[in-house]
Amino acid sequence: MSVLKSIDKTATEAAATGKQYVEVSKKYYELKVFQQLTTISSYVVKMVILGGLLLLAFLFMAIAAALALGDLFNSMPLGYLSVGGIFIIICLLVYSGRGFIEKILIKNMSKTYFD
């Protein structure tokens, strides 16, 4: 009879230990998800702020360049068209290199996510 009590006690302790392990693992993964979400959220917020400021800087630089080219060509519409053409060329270059940009983005995000 003592063998059965010993087996019962061992099984009860194993079940309790397993339950505790599951609870601790659940808490760990909840914290890990929270950490990942806050890291990604802060990254997105920083990029939005920096992107907005950079957009304003490019806007003022584009207007200044268009005015300067307009004075150079003695035609304001031609200056603005030139700056528009430059932006189209830049967009085409970025679009053609999108695979390279995606690789860099995936590489950087995977370091953040899997560390």
pLDDT digits (tens, 9 = 90+) for 65-109: 999 999 999 999 999 999 999 999 999 998 998 888 888 888 877
Q: pLDDT tier at 8 (50, 70, 90 boundaries)? A: confident
- Give a three-class secondary structure readout of 40-104: HHHHHHHHHHHHHHHHHHHHHHHHHHHHHHHHHHCCHHHHHHHHHHHHHHHHHHHHHCHHHHHHH
Within 8 A by CB and 6+ apart from 101, the residues are 94
Residue whose tokens read 């584009």: 62
pLDDT digits (tens, 9 = 90+) for 15-60: 888 889 899 999 999 998 898 889 889 989 999 999 999 999 999 9
Q: Does the pTM of the predicted model rise above 0.75?
A: no
Helices 98-114 and 2-73: crossing angle in degrees, nearest 10, is 150
Q: pLDDT tier at 12 (50, 70, 90 boundaries)? A: confident
